[in-house]
């Protein structure tokens, strides 16, 4: 099976606690390769567009405030079945329900401040990757 790609975000709760390296180590140990990465501060508009699918949810305003509260690290991960592999490593959205040893079980603070985001389908991965990266910035 050919390698595929997914978009990952290390969220402000994790960058604040200096966990970028610890999370990257988990990703790399799982066999995923970080083929693009940059640290940035999302604008409110960027966060609203990125999470537009959640616009009607009661937690949307808080989510945008949280995602713009500090730096994030956006990354492209590459590997076999990258979307599903990354979702397995991240664990459930709610850290209380995440399997032991997953990133969210180990590091997340709450259902909102849950340390990482990962694309939920190959189609969304493609659009989320192009939201942050040009093809020339991705070096496989």
- Determine what percent of the chain falls in helix, strand and coil, rounding each to the nearest 5: 45, 20, 35
Decide: is 93 part of the binding site for ligand CMP (CB under 6 A): yes
Q: Would residue 117 show up in a list of annotated catalytic residues for this protein?
A: yes
Q: Is the CB of 2 or the CB of 82 nearer to ligand CMP?
A: 82
Q: Which of 117, 119, 128, 133 is catalytic?
A: 117
Q: Is the CB of 45 or the CB of 94 nearer to ligand CMP?
A: 94
CA pair distance 15, 17, nearest whole angstrom: 5
63 vs 12, 21, 31, 100, 139, CA distance in Å? 11, 24, 30, 25, 31
Decide: is 131 part of the binding site for ligand CMP (CB under 6 A): no
Which chain residues interact with ligand CMP by CB under 6 A?
Answer: 54, 59, 63, 93, 111-112, 114, 117
């Amino acid at each position: 099976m050919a390698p595929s790609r997914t978009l990952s975000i290390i969220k402000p709760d994790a960058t604040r606690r200096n966990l970028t390296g610890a999370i990257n180590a988990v990703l790399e140990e799982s066999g995923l390769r970080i083929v693009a990465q940059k640290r940035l501060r999302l604008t409110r508009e960027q966060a609203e567009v990125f999470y537009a699918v959640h616009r009607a949810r009661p937690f949307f305003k808080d989510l945008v405030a949280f995602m713009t509260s500090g730096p994030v690290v956006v990354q492209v991960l590459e590997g076999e079945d990258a979307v599903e592999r990354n979702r397995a490593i991240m664990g459930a959205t709610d850290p209380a329900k995440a399997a032991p040893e997953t990133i969210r079980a180990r590091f997340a603070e709450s259902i909102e401040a849950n340390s990482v985001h990962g694309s939920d389908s190959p189609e969304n991965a493609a659009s989320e990757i192009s939201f942050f990266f040009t093809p020339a910035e991705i070096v496989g």
